[in-house]
Each structure stands twice: as structure tokens, then as C-alpha cells.
Amino acid sequence: MARALVIGGTSLIGRPLVRTLLEGGHDVTIMHRSPGTPFGDRVREVHADRNDPDAVASAVEGHAFDWVFDNVYDWARGTTGEQVAGTVTAVAPGLERYVYMSSVAVYPEGGPWDESAEMVPGTDPNMYAAQKADGERAVFAYAAQTGLAVSTVRPAFVYGPHNPFDREAFFWDRLLAKRPILIPGDGTRVMQWVHTDDVARASVAAASMDAGAGEAFNLAGPPVTQRQFVEILAEVAGVEADLVPVPREMLVAAGGQLMEPPLYFGAYLD
């Protein structure tokens, strides 16, 4: 049994991760900002803003952990490499493994890439990609300095229950209402998806296996095109998809957005 701290244990990935840990017989503590969890007395709670290293240090004082899973990115304010470094420093005493939730967004445009590919710089115009890459650099630098075993996990597009982003639901809503779905360009841009349960299992494997130390792991299902993705959802829903190809330039010129309404192809999926 491991003593595990899950930073962000009630989030999209945190919930299935906590459930997976509990099913494995591990002792789980959740760190988040507000009291209350869906797990009742099966978990402990500590409260802190993960972007405040001093608050994190205060929250974990007197606690001992074997594994820490750092799942939280603050979409409103960002989470910098310095803040990640502060967190790992605060929780490191006595720790066996630190697992940092990164993203395939750390890779440059294009590809395909494997885990050895160079990450985007901290100056990349995509703040999320830049900060996730800086977070990885921070935890691996700490590992090099101290010998702490760290792993990073890089999921592709994540789907599953409690998704705060309008992703798979964006398409389900339109398909079930028999509304047309705009396809950016010719619809051949490739996507890869991974379910939250698979991310949870991979994270626990990264923490528990000796071979996971010092490694980054890409997590993704088989590649599908944007058009194929919508067609698969339509087949599952038992409806015929009304797909309308539109040039990306026209979508953007009409006010279509990637991350906030009015979305033209779900949140951050193009």
C-alpha cells in the first residue's frame, strides 16, 4: 500500500485516479481548494491553492506521502514552471515518486513525435503548451538535482465523465438534435483521444513501476481524422451526421473560437 497525495482529486482526471488508487488498496489524500469530495471518508483532505507553494507546504506539513500526482493546471491564471517547482519542493521530503500531468501539447506543431522529441520553449505563444513544457523541465531539473524519481504523463485529447470542457458533449448535443456540424477544412486533420480511466491507470503504473522513473509517457488511442471522429460518434448515437466542410479562414473570420464560445469544433480540438 502506498500513501498517495492527489493534487486535484476531484477534477476530470483526479476523480478516476482517486478511484483507481482506492481500488488498489492505497491510502489517498486529496489536495484541493474547497472542502468536500465524492469519496466520503475513504480519503483525507488538505486544502491549498496549488499555485501558492507556501500554501502547499503548509497544507502538507505533518503528512508523509510515497507518491504525489500533480494533476492541476489553473486555466484562469496559468500554472508556471516556477509554481510546479515550488510544489515538488514542498512535497518532496520522504517521497518515492512524483507524477506530473503534462500534455501532448508540449510538442511543436506538426509531427508525429515520440517522447524523445524536443518540447516547445517557454516563450511559445500557446501559454498552456509553454507552461506544461516548463512544468516538465522543472520536475526533471529537480530530479537531476536531488535524485527524486519523477515521471511525466502526456495525454492527448482527454474525454470522460465530468469533463469541464465542451468537447465530446459539443458533438453529442448537435448530433442528437440533428443539427449540422461544421468540419474545419477538409476534415483530415488527425486527432487522438484517451479516456480518463486509461489516464488514471497509466498514472498509477508510472508511479508504481521502477521503469517509470525519469520517463515521459505519451497516452493516446488510435489516430482518427476529425471527420472520422464525428462519424464514429454519429454511429454510436444511431444518427446520420450532417457534416458541412467550411474553410478554417472562414470559420475564424465569422468569429469562431477554439477555447470559448462561439466554438466551431469543440473546445481546443482544431
Go through 56-68 and write b for each residue having 16 or more CB atoms within 10 A of its CB, e for each that does not: beebbeeeebbbb
In the structure grid, which three cell numbers stand for residue 41, read together? 471518508
What is the C-alpha to C-alpha distance for residues 6 and 55, in angstroms, rounded to an integer? 16
75 grid coordinates: 486555466
Query: What is the distance between the alpha carbons of residues 139 and 149, in angstroms, rounded to a whole number?
Result: 9
3-state class (DSSP) for residue 32: strand
For 45, list phi and psi in degrees, rounded to 5: -125, 140
In this structure, are strands 224-225 and 190-191 parallel, antiparallel, or unpaired?
Answer: antiparallel
pLDDT at residue number 110 = 81
Q: Can you name the residues that pair with 218 across neighbouring β-strands?
A: 154
What pLDDT does 113 receive?
85
Residue of 255, 264, 243 whose CA lies nearest to 180? 243
Return the pLDDT at 34: 87
pLDDT in tens, 54-78: 999 999 999 999 999 999 999 999 9
Q: Could you say which residues of the chain have pLDDT below 50?
A: none
196-227: b (≥16 Cβ within 10 Å) or e:
bebbbbbbbbbbbeeebbeebbbbbeeeeebb
What is the identity of the amino acid at 170? F
| pTM, to two decimals | 0.94
Please state, in angstroms and rounded to a whole number, the distance separating the CA atoms of residues 197 and 85.
27
What's phi and psi for 174, nearest 5 deg? Answer: -75, -40
Which residues, other chains included, contact 211 with Cβ-Cβ below 8 Å and sequence gap of 6+?
none
Structural domains present in the chain: 3-158+192-219 (3.40.50.720), 160-191+223-253 (3.90.25.10)
pLDDT of 167: 92
Q: Phi/psi at 32 (nearest 5 deg)? A: -155, 180
